[in-house]
Amino acid sequence: MNFFLISLIKTGIVAGVFMTTLAYLQWIERKVLAHIQSRVGPYRVGPHGLLQPLADVVKLMTKEGFVPSHVNLFFYILAPFLAVFFALISICLIPFGPSVEIFGVRTDLGLADINVGVLFVLAISSVGVYGIALGGWASNNKYSLMGGLRSSAQMISYELPMAIALVSPMLILNDLSLRTIVNEQAGYYLGVIPRWSIFQMPFPQVFSFLIFLISAFAETNRVPFDLPEAENELVGGFHTEYSSLNFAAFFMAEYANMITVTCLATVLFLGGWHPLWPVEYGSDFVPVLLMLGGSAVLLFHGLIQPVKGRPWDRLTMPAAGLVFGAIALVFLVPVLKPILMPIFWFVAKAGVLLFIFIWIRGTLPRFRYDQLMNFTWKFLFPVAIVNLLITAFAVALQGPKN
Amino acid sequence: MPQLNAVPMSWYLILSAILFSLGVAGFLFRRNIITVFMSIELMLNAVNLSFVAFSQHLRQVDGQIFTFFVMVVAAAEAAVGLAIILTVFKNRQTLSIDEVSSLKN
Amino acid sequence: MPNQPDLQLWLILFFPLLGALINGTIGRRLSKGLISTIAIGSVALSFLWVARALSELGQLETPHIERYFTWISSGDLKIGFDLSIDRLSSIMLLVVTGVGTLIHVYAVGYMDHEEGFWRFFSYLNLFMFFMLILVLAQNFLLLFVGWEGVGLCSYLLIGFYFLEKYAGDAAKKAFIVNRVGDFGFSLAVLLMVVHFGSLDMTQVFAAAKKMPLEESGGVLTAIALLLVVGACGKSAQVPLYVWLPDAMAGPTPVSALIHAATMVTAGVYVVARSSEVFLKAPVAMDVVAVIGLVTAVVAALIGTAQNDIKKVFAYSTVSQLGFMFLGLGVGAFSAGIFHVVTHAFFKALLFLGAGSVIHALHGEQDLSNMGGLRSKIPITYWTLMIGAVAIAGVWPFAGFHSKDAILLAAHAHSPWMYWVGVVTAGLTAFYVFRAIFLCFFGTYRGKAHPHESPAIMYMPLVILALLSVAGGYLPVMEWLAPLYPAHEQPHDMTLILISVAFAFAGIFMAYYVYILNPGSADGYAKSLGGVYRAIAGKFFVDEAYDAAIVHPLEQGSRTVLMNGFEEVIVEGGVNATVAVTRWGGGFLRLLQAGNIRSYAVYILLGAVIFLGVMATNGGAR
Amino acid sequence: MDLILFIIFATIAVACGISLVVQKHPIGSALSLIGVMGSLAVLYLLLGAEFIAAVQLIVYAGAIMVLFVFVIMLLNAGEETIKGRSWPSRLLGIPLLTVFLGLLAYLLQRMGPSMGTVTFGAFNVGAKEIGRSLFNHYLLPFEVTSVLVLIAILGAIVLARKEIDKCLN
């Protein structure tokens, strides 16, 4: 039963962190977009708008769950839950860190580890289309139907390059279990260049990484591939007819997918929790320095040179600065180090990828539908195939691994 | 009642038999081409189940290989079949299998 | 075979094949110069390669065999793609490639104005390829490939002007008549397989040699006779000679190369090659000798009454082949082969000369429209004259030696053969010189304006003329001596003188009839009456064949096969099948309602039945 | 434990199968078929066929059924209409089906006892074994299948190109 207890605890932790991240990811996105467009973004609720997500949740929950007539009720209700379910389930397969010792219990950081993990992530992401498609169809509205059709077609189409892009690092690391894959990426060339699969010999997987990223955008219906919810063509796309919690569910699904995909990219291409450069060159102090720098900036702006017209900052900013400093100190505690460092690196990489997601949303316009299809079928797919071939040849030339 | 962590082999086969018969029933008594097609897929799945069960029973990979091939062929079949259904619908504006009873209309 | 130099004999075959392929595929787009270069070059190359191989091989006490790959392997019968050179085939190789080269050169000039230049040369090279296979083959099946191949090429080349009906007919005739012979040949091959279990010549001959006489008699005689049938077909012997004169429908170089120098001697070659078999089958030997003699006489007689210059030479070819067979038949294989060589020289010369005459007269072939060309085309005249003298067997020209070798052997075998042969030799001299005189002497009776042929045409003539003069002194027989049991060669001076005398008699007769008092020929013809008509009508052999074989065959197939078998059995069967099918279909159509679910029910029914069977006889264990 | 899982998912599978047959609307049938496939995938896992389970999800649930749903939406297929008759299926259908099931049951119960039981993890087949056997022993069938798939792609494009374009815009 010990096993069940531990996994129960782990599940609880992961679920909690995951949910919070979902909520705050949206906040971060709005902030980043705002700054890209030189606005301030959500600011009113709580210090520096930090409570905005809470407010959103409350708002969504208190809205009336309006069910239009002539909808196919069963599927109309089922769709958002399917979407959320499939979006949340695949996080269980992501390994966040090595197996560590906590309170005398040795366990893996990460929920499940099955031998064909990659395939299962693929499987779940490919099943994920049903939520959107059904929702679009069930709400008995031509715009929604269009959205549903588009999303299903688009997801099927982008499955291929994504899968093929995943295959080539598999060839190099030759295993399907995500944990083994991360372990395969440990170590450094020449002592500095990490053996992540985007750098790994015999054929660095830069191209498959890019292909994976692009098709990930499409899989998660993000800009520039957010055709299913293109406001200016189909009013709200597949979620035109949805409101309150059902609507929220779709959004949760989207963000959950983003996180999952970025974690997957981190695991497969960016070497999971392995630091960017070896520990002996002091990669352990990166988080400390970052945090300390952040707290310094905060303290400076809070105490010495406050920003005009923001009375609260005098209070909140120093407080935040102190919190940052505390975190920095936590990173220095030797007992917690083996647990925190991997998680830090993992989160850092995933975070960078998430930022790229948001950044691109703020930057790129939306594709036209035919452009979208041509792009995947006539460009991404062939490139992925060629990349796969080259990798296969390189691996074959390199000969069997140890 | 066998012990909790061992499933009798025959149960898998019975399950696959039931599913297969369900597929046959769907094929016989449904009139919508798409539903009929899905019944066929159901039968294929039932057969796959018994394939995998036998591969487990005989401790051989081959059964799963066959399942793999069945899946690939089913995929091809689905692609072509659905395309045919699209064409049929375009030509006759019906999906009822009983109305599609002549090669040329 | 160990300790033998690897001579890459396959190259000998490869060059002509390559030439044929190039000219046959892209020749249409190539310039004439390029085509002729390829054609001549390929043949010349293989000639050089043959020369090189022979110089490497030196004395050739034992045949040089090169085995390349197993071609057919069924049960314990293994047939390899093996080539070999022994003393016999070395001579044939030299003749084929050498004369072939000369004739190719000549043909470039002769065919210059013709359509399908490239086609002609690709056929010609293909012929060389197959002929060389025939000569080089180490087993009978490969030899048969070459055998059929040259048949095919001769068909293609006879029918070269396939727009004219006579050419097509002649081609078909040659092909069909050859089929008869080839059938015999293939039967012989099968017999060998049955009795010796192998087709490799060395093994077959070894087996034949050590086969005791009492049991060998039947088998070997049968094989030998069947081989003779094949040889008769290919070498135009009685009764299968009828195709050769018609084969003159082809272009003259073809007549020279295929139907005088090389292909028609294939029969002789095969008989000589399988001498072991023949020596054990005296009956077959006699048959060969008689056939040869009859052929020689008949052809010579017919030759005296032909007015087409090429026909004359064609019949003389037939009769010369008859002489060769006579030689073989009386056991003088080396003499026969020797005659093959010399005949290749002077007959090629005669044909090429005739060709040059025809060329000069713009396609005029009828002797009655020639005459007095001596001054107009001197080179042709002199070379032709040399050829005529050579074929007439006047000392010291080539024909003399070989022919007299044969005749002496014949005398040693049985004197009457000698006498008939001598008379025939006289006839030969007569009709050849008749042709010469009618062509070159007297007054010109034609209308076209003759002109001497270009150098590319008469240079081969000159070379061949020299060969016909000196060819008699080639040590062919000595070279072949170790291959064949020495038959006594009595240099009986009187016999030699007699034959020479007959030759001169023939020449003089021709001179008397056609020079001293021209036009008297018709008188003699009348006085001869029926005999002359018979001769002029070629003894009505063709008509006889028509009546005896062709017509019955046509009638039979029309009545029996078409009206009987085809309409009653085949059509009846088809109609019956149709009726049954239609009836059954009409019944089964009731099931084919076009309703998929019904079909599903039928399938389910089948499955249920199957399961029922399984359940009853306890399957699935 | 295995037994419980088996019973749960077998029940789900059978229930979904029944609903496939009885559902009025194609979409309902499609979803229930997806349910069947999902539970079958779990059963494959129980049988130690991880790879097949994953492929089952990817190919069947992820690709084929998406196609089905897509087409159903495209044609906006509604409740099926009772038109036309198939006498054989009406008359023979039920009895034949029962006989069929009975025979199957008979055979199974006859061979059932001799089959023994399945315990999880007794015989696990990962992707490596499948791949090895697929590319050594079954190479030719594999290649042939690839050709078949190519042909199918071409056929589908040729058949449905215009229709899809028309329906999409």
Rounded to a whole number of angstroms, the distance from the CA of D127 to the nearest CA of chain B is: 11
Question: Please, do chains B and D touch (3+ CB pairs < 8 Å)?
Answer: yes
CB A207 within 8 A of CB A198: no
Query: Which SS3 state, helix, strand or coil, does residue C235 take?
Result: coil
Whole-number Å distance between alpha carbons of A256 and A246: 15
CB contact under 8 A, D80 and B35: yes
Q: Which among C258, C364, C274, C386 has a CA at the least distance from the CA of C310?
A: C364
Q: What is the pLDDT of residue C1?
A: 41
Whole-number Å distance between alpha carbons of C141 and C80: 9
Instruction: Give φ, ψ of C84 to 5 degrees.
Output: -150, 155
Structure confidence by residue, pLDDT tens digits, C294-336:
999 888 888 888 888 888 889 999 999 999 999 888 888 888 8
Locate A243 and state its tokens.
Answer: 């409101």
Locate C342 and state its tokens.
Answer: 């010399």
Whole-number Å distance between alpha carbons of C184 and C289: 18
Query: Which SS3 state, helix, strand or coil, does residue D81 take?
Result: coil
Q: Is B47 on the interface with D (CB under 8 A)?
A: no
Helix or strand run (H / E) with residue C422: helix C415-440
Structure confidence by residue, pLDDT tens digits, C164-222:
888 888 998 899 888 888 999 999 999 888 888 888 888 888 888 887 766 666 888 88
Structure confidence by residue, pLDDT tens digits, B18-53:
899 888 888 888 888 888 888 999 999 999 998 988
Is 50 exceeded by the pLDDT of residue C108?
A: yes
Q: Is D126 on the interface with B (CB under 8 A)?
A: no
User: Looking at the partner chain, which of D37, D97, D159 has a beta carbon nearest the beta carbon of B84?
Assistant: D159
Q: What is the pLDDT of residue C580?
A: 93
Q: What is the CATH topology of the domain spanning D1-78?
A: Four Helix Bundle (Hemerythrin (Met), subunit A) (1.20.120)
Q: Which of residues 596-615 of C touch B (CB under 8 A)?
A: 596-597, 600-601, 604
Question: Please, do chains A and D touch (3+ CB pairs < 8 Å)?
Answer: yes
| Rg of chain C over all Cα atoms, to the nearest angstrom | 29
CA atoms within a 13 Å half-sphere pointing along the CA-CB vector of C25: 5
Q: What is the pLDDT of residue B33?
A: 84
Q: Is D99 on the interface with B (CB under 8 A)?
A: no
Q: Is D22 on the interface with B (CB under 8 A)?
A: no
Q: Is D74 on the interface with B (CB under 8 A)?
A: yes
Structure confidence by residue, pLDDT tens digits, C537-594:
777 888 888 888 888 888 888 888 888 788 888 888 999 999 999 998 888 877 776 6
Contacts of B31 in chain C (CB under 8 A): 597
Rounded to a whole number of angstroms, the distance from the CA of A138 to the nearest CA of chain D is: 10
pLDDT confidence of D81, banded at 50, 70, 90?
A: low
User: What is the pLDDT of chain C when averaged over all its residues?
Assistant: 85
CB A264 within 8 A of CB A219: no
CB B47 within 8 A of CB B20: yes
Is 90 exceeded by the pLDDT of residue C130?
A: yes
Q: What is the pLDDT of residue B46?
A: 92
C242 within some domain: no
Structure confidence by residue, pLDDT tens digits, C13-40:
889 999 899 888 888 888 888 899 999 9
Q: ∠B27-B32-B34 over CA atoms, to 5°?
A: 80
Locate C594 and state its tokens.
Answer: 């076009």
Locate A157 and state its tokens.
Answer: 């189409």
Q: Which among A3, A401, A17, A380 has a CA at the least distance from the CA of A172?
A: A401
State mean pLDDT over A294-322: 76
Q: Which among A204, A183, A146, A181 has a CA at the least distance from the CA of A390?
A: A204
State mean pLDDT over C433-438: 87
CB B75 within 8 A of CB D149: yes
User: Looking at the partner chain, which of D54, D66, D126 has a beta carbon nearest the beta carbon of A129?
Assistant: D66
HEC string of chain A equals CHHHHHHHHHHHHHHHHHHHHHHHHHHHHHHHHHHHCCCCCCCCCCHHHCCHHHHHHHHHHHCCCCCCCCCCHHHHHHHHHHHHHHHHHHHHHCEEEEEEEECCEEEEEECCCCCCHHHHHHHHHHHCHHHHHHHHHHCCCHHHHHHHHHHHHHHHHHHHHHHHHHHHHHHHHCCCCHHHHHHHCCCEECCCEECCCCCCCCCCCHHHHHHHHHHHHHHCCCCCCCHHHCCCCCCCHHHCCCCHHHHHHHHHHHHHHHHHHHHHHHHHHCCCCCCCCCHHHCCCHHHHHHHHHHHHHHHHHHHHCCCCCCCCHHHHHHHHHHHHHHHHHHHHCCCCHHHHHHHHHHHHHHHHHHHHHHHHHHHCCCCCHHHHHHHHHHHHHHHHHHHHHHHHHHHHHHCCCC
Q: What is the pLDDT of residue C394?
A: 83
Q: What is the pLDDT of residue B104?
A: 61
Residue C287 or C561, more confident: C287
Burial degree of D141 (CB within 10 A; 0-12, 13-18, 19+): middle
Domain ranges, ordered by start, for chain D: 1-78
Instruction: Give φ, ψ of C220 to 5 degrees.
Output: -60, -40
Instruction: List all residues 6 or more positions away from A82 whose beta carbon is below 8 Å from its beta carbon.
Output: A130, A131, A134
Q: What is the pLDDT of residue D109?
A: 77
Contacts of D141 in chain B (CB under 8 A): 69
Among chain D, residues having any CB pair with chain C shorter than 8 Å are 84, 86-89, 92-93, 96-97, 99-100, 103-104, 106-107, 110-111, 114
Rounded to a whole number of angstroms, the distance from the CA of B33 to the nearest CA of chain C is: 10
Q: Residue C396: is the preceding peptide bond cis (ω within 30°)?
A: yes
Against chain D, the chains showing at least 3 CB pairs within 8 Å are A, B, C
pLDDT confidence of C2, banded at 50, 70, 90?
A: very low
Q: What is the pLDDT of residue C619?
A: 58
CB contact under 8 A, A119 and D69: no
- Alpha-carbon distances, residue C93 vs A11, A80, C50, C51, C620 (angstroms): 93, 91, 7, 9, 72
C8 within some domain: no
CB contact under 8 A, D40 and B56: no
State mean pLDDT over A280-301: 82
Q: Which among C463, C107, C116 has a CA at the least distance from the CA of C254?
A: C107
Query: Which SS3 state, helix, strand or coil, does residue C239 take?
Result: coil
State mean pLDDT over C429-451: 83
How far from the centroid of its chain's Cα atoms is residue A302's Cα?
32
Q: What is the pLDDT of residue C186?
A: 92
CB contact under 8 A, D100 and C612: no
State mean pLDDT over A197-225: 84
Q: What is the pLDDT of residue A222?
A: 80
Domain ranges, ordered by start, for chain A: 68-274+333-398
Q: Which among C59, C63, C237 has a CA at the least distance from the CA of C139?
A: C63
Q: What is the pLDDT of residue C203?
A: 86
Locate C307 and state its tokens.
Answer: 């007015």
**Is the CA virtual torsion C194, C198, C199, C205 positive or negative?**
negative
Q: Is B14 on the interface with D (CB under 8 A)?
A: yes
B100 within some domain: no
CB contact under 8 A, B76 and D21: no
pLDDT confidence of C132, banded at 50, 70, 90?
A: very high
The alpha helices in D23-57, defined as continuous H runs, are: 26-46, 50-55
For residue C309, the enclosing domain spans: 285-535
Structure confidence by residue, pLDDT tens digits, C368-388:
888 788 888 888 888 888 988
Q: What is the pLDDT of residue B1?
A: 46
- For residue A99, the cross-strand partners are A108
Q: How many domains does chain B have?
A: 1
- Return the DSSP state at C364: -
User: Hunting for tokens 């994504």 — which residue is that?
Assistant: A162
User: Looking at the partner chain, which of C597, C598, C615 has a beta carbon nearest the beta carbon of D103?
Assistant: C615
pLDDT confidence of C443, banded at 50, 70, 90?
A: confident
Q: How many domains does chain C have?
A: 1
Q: What is the pLDDT of residue A291?
A: 84
Against chain A, the chains showing at least 3 CB pairs within 8 Å are D
State mean pLDDT over D76-94: 67
Is 70 exceeded by the pLDDT of residue C104?
A: yes
Instruction: List all residues 6 or more positions away from C403 whose beta carbon is below 8 Å from its beta carbon.
Output: C323, C339, C393, C425, C499
Locate B25 and state its tokens.
Answer: 């029933």
Instruction: List all residues 6 or more positions away from A396 whose beta carbon is below 8 Å from its beta carbon.
Output: none
B80 within some domain: yes
Whole-number Å distance between alpha carbons of C449 and C452: 10
CB A99 within 8 A of CB A338: no
CB contact under 8 A, D93 and B55: no
Category of C371 on φ-ψ map: left (φ > 0), alpha (ψ -120 to 50) or beta? left
Q: Is B27 on the interface with C (CB under 8 A)?
A: yes
Mutation pick from D82, D90, D91, D100 vs chain C, by most beta carbons of C within 10 Å, is D100
Q: Which among D116, D130, D134, D120 has a CA at the least distance from the CA of D45?
A: D120
The alpha helices in C361-397, defined as continuous H runs, are: 378-392
Q: Which among A5, A22, A34, A98 has a CA at the least distance from the CA of A262?
A: A22
The enclosing domain of B30 has a CATH number of: 1.10.287.3510
Locate D90 and state its tokens.
Answer: 């009406």
Mutation pick from D3, D100, D164, D167 vs chain B, by most beta carbons of B within 10 Å, is D3
Helix or strand run (H / E) with residue C65: strand C64-74
Mutation pick from D16, D19, D25, D27 vs chain A, by most beta carbons of A within 10 Å, is D27
Is 50 exceeded by the pLDDT of residue A171?
A: yes
For residue B25, the enclosing domain spans: 9-92
CB pairs under 8 A between B and C: 22
Instruction: Give φ, ψ of B8 to 5 degrees.
Output: -60, 135
Q: What is the pLDDT of residue A153?
A: 82
Residue D98 or A315, more confident: D98
Give the CA-trace dihedral at C543, C544, C545, C548, to 10 degrees.
Answer: 130
Q: Say what percent of chain A tops pLDDT 70.
A: 95
C128 within some domain: no
CB contact under 8 A, D66 and A148: no
